Amino acid sequence: MSMSILRAIEEDHRKVEDMLSSLKSTTAQEAQRRQTEFGGLQRELHAHMKGEEELLFPLLLDKESEDGDRDEILEMFEEHNLLRLWMDHMSTIEFSHPRWGAKMDVLAEVVDHHHSEEEDDIFPVAREHLDAETLEALGHRFGMVLQEA
Question: Which residues contact Fe ion by CB under 5 A?
Answer: 52, 118
CB 34 within 8 A of CB 91: no
Which C-beta is closer to Fe ion: that of 30 or that of 121? 121
Which C-beta is closer to Fe ion: that of 94 or that of 109? 109
To the nearest whole angstrom, how small is the minimum distance from the Cβ of residue 11 to Fe ion? 11
DSSP state, residue 52? I
Which C-beta is closer to Fe ion: that of 21 or that of 35? 21
To the nearest whole angstrom, how small is the minimum distance from the Cβ of residue 41 to Fe ion? 14
Which 3-state string (H, E, C) describes 78-141?
HHHHHHHHHHHHHHCCCCCCCCHHHHHHHHHHHHHHHHHHHHHHHHHHHHHHCCHHHHHHHHHH
To the nearest whole angstrom, how small is the minimum distance from the Cβ of residue 76 to Fe ion? 5
To the nearest whole angstrom, how small is the minimum distance from the Cβ of residue 82 to Fe ion? 11
Which C-beta is closer to Fe ion: that of 34 or that of 48? 48
Closest CA to 114 of 82, 148, 140: 82
